[in-house]
Structure 1
Amino acid sequence: MYADRYGRHGRINPGSAILALTINGAILGGLILFANPTFKKQIGTVLTIQAIPLDPVKPTPPPPPKPQPEPKIQPALRQPVDTSKSVIVTKIADPTPLPLPTFTPGPIDGTGTVGTATVEPVKPLPPVLTTPTIDPRYANLFQPVFPPDEQRAGRSGRVVVRVLVGVDGRVKDIARVSATSDSFYDVTRKRALDKWRFKPATRDSIPVEAWREVAVSFVLA
């Protein structure tokens, strides 16, 4: 009985031995793994540096030059005027303006060129003149009074005179051209200076004095 009890305690359990070996092997393998530097795992991020080309720097333009001040011009010194000598001032009249020339082209020859040209002075146009005319508003006042002495004698007559008509239409002067008698001329002259009215003569539409000839007839009824 005692022999069986001691005999059972001297045996090794195979299951326990395998478990112990497995645990020890795992511990030993872990120690070896961590002890070997080749089995260490590197943890981290690898940085890659790349040079980035920058834009070329443009040169700064030089500042504009400052404006230079203009040099001051010294005024010319006036020479003193000698007042001891007398000075004679002569008035110069404006010259008469010359007429503008006109260009007259010459004949064209076979080469297409114009021949010689001649310059002719421009002739001024003659003024437009009008003679005095009888004002119709005073036409019934032109006939002079028949001279009494010529009427008693039973004579008719005719008078021709030249009258100077002013710009106002009145007769300023009278000249005898012909007359049947002095009596006929006298009454005609008095009537012309007192009653005759004309439209004055004009030169380029401007009233001017002018002479005019007038004939007056005396006829007995």
Structure 2
Amino acid sequence: MYAESRYTPPKSRAVSLGAAFAINGLILAGLIFSAPEFVKKKIPPVFEAGTYFDPPPPPPIEPPKPQPRTDAPKATAPLPNLPNPLVKTLTENHIEGTTTIYPPQPPLEPAKADPGPIAQPEPLKAAPPLIGAARDARYAEDFQPAYPSSELRAQRDGSVKVRVLIGTNGRVKAVEQVDATSQAFFEATRRQALARWRFKPASRGGVAEESWMTLSVRFELKNQ
């Protein structure tokens, strides 16, 4: 009776060993890469609390003391004889002095006794008020001037305002135009004022004075 025996070629064993080593290598590599990493943690330094003071300031630096001079001053050469810078000039302004001694002045008189309070002047009296001029009622009919013929033909009314200077005798000395409808109305008023107007002159303290007065005159056709 023969026992069964199988023949295994040597090549297949070598392949099996290689595969076993490869599998073991892969398992070992997986264990190495899957293992956790251990990293040392850095522990921060511990500072102890305490009181610190600034260092004292350095001592002041003293300035260097001046050293006495040991070298003797050098002798200077004498200056040469220079010409006098002052130039004499001729002048005609001769100043003459005097040797006359004037006599001493007499002593001052002693102060006089206090004469007492000085009398105050009387206050000036206020000037009397000015009383203005006024029309003289006795010459009221002579106030209205004659109607100018040119304005009468034109059938035109008018008005005149004049400023008159009244003398101390009550008569008009000058006439100034303030406003007028026409030159014809003003000329008629001016002639009438110089010839016929009479006033009571202005006065101050009973003394007559010249004064100015403004008057108005109307010319109306209904009064002709």
TM-score band by shorter chain is: 0.3 to 0.5
Normalization by structure 1: what TM-score?
0.45
